[in-house]
Amino acid sequence: MSEQSSALNGIRVIDLSRVLGGPYCSQMLGDHGADVIKVEPPSGDETRGWGPPFREGTASYFIGVNRNKRGMALDLRRPEGREVLLRLLEDADVLVENFKTGTLEKWGLGYDSLKERFPRLVHCRISGFGADGPMGGLPGYDAIIQAMAGLMSVNGEAGGEPLRVGLPIVDIVTGLNAVIGITMALHERQRSGRGQFVEAALFDSGLALMHPHFPNVFLGGNQPKRTGNAHPNISPYETYRTATQPIFLSVGNNVQFSRLCEALGAPQLASDSRFADNGQRVVNRDALRDELEAVMADQDGESLATALMKAGVPAGPVLETAQVLEHPHTAHREMVVEMDGYKGTGTPVKFDRTPGTYRRPPPAFAEHNDEVLRDAGFSEEEIEQLISSGVVPQARG
């Protein structure tokens, strides 16, 4: 599949970001055709060392979010390095970075400076708390935001301790919000001819994830609490035991509940006054769980979930990671990608005319130094000088 068939073909992204939110954002842009140049500091993106497991000295953490990028290294602490970056930005559409507020400004590379020289540039900053306000400029980390934004307060078993979501949900969602902001800004640029500053803050993204808990509070509901796998507003909506693996039910209305009861061979539950509507089912959720688990106690979880889905009841087996990766629908949706010894998760955004493409495995450190510099118009003599002086490192320092 050619690069020309992708939605963002012709867009060039200079990616100065490290760790997760920024790289996740730029990988998605790259998957959909953007030419992404990942610029690492002399020490490299720290996630190269976040293992095991490792492949040829690079950790899986880095490999998972850095495909479809050309990699180079640059020492921005040196004036010569900053001049190289300015050359790279001359034909760039997007700059993605997650420097601590004030760092680029100190180097004369803040947005106010860059927009004068590059008025069409979309400058996206991924930050912890934004630049100003009571916590402005402070560093932010996924788990800290999970704690501060309320996610941990509603995650965990009833009566148990607050629990971190078992994946970096805030970093990932912030990366997605950055993609949304960048593509909106590129769309607006078609009308105005001007770029703009886009900020995606982890704190904001964490707060935006708190649905339906914040809306419940806004309408005077009770203080949100931890309910394990149960939904605060819907029942049956949690995991239920079977003879084998548990299944998850997400029954949101009376029609679905009636179908559930029929499929389980327990139609009398649909006419039980305790379960007459969702409000009653939420109040009596413990009794309902007991009734449902009693009739599912001798059934195979995966087979039952499949039968329920075919009957129009939202249900699914609780699968382990290996089972998910081996699932036939995972293959059908092309959600596992393999190329040149690389294996990764496919793009979740699908297009019918301009689908995502997988063109490059994650780069080795400084792998494309020469290529990127030549594309930017540097002569062979200039490239040799930049490398020999250490402005453009060839190996991690």
> What's the start-to-end Cα distance of the chain, in Å?
37
Q: Is 240 helix (H, G, I), strand (E, B) or coil?
A: strand
User: What are the helix (H) ranges across 107-153?
Assistant: 111-117, 142-148
Residue of 171, 272, 277, 290 marked catalytic? 171
Q: Are the C-beta atoms of 37 and 13 separated by less than 8 Å? A: yes
- Taken as a whole, the chain contains a residue count of 397
Tell me how far apart the alpha carbons of residues 59 and 51 are, in angstroms, rounded to a whole number.
5
Torsion of CA 9, 10, 14, 17, to 10 degrees: -20
Residues 6 or more apart from 130 whose CB is under 8 A from it? 101, 136, 199, 201, 203, 204
Nearest one of 78, 83, 68 to 15, comparing CA atoms:
68
d(CA 175, CA 144) in angstroms, rounded, equals 17
171 as an active site residue: the answer is: yes
Distance in angstroms (rounded) separating the CA atoms of residues 332 and 51: 30
Task: Using the structure block, give the residue that is written with the tokens 């501060």.
Answer: 148
Task: Provide the annotated active-site residues.
Answer: 171
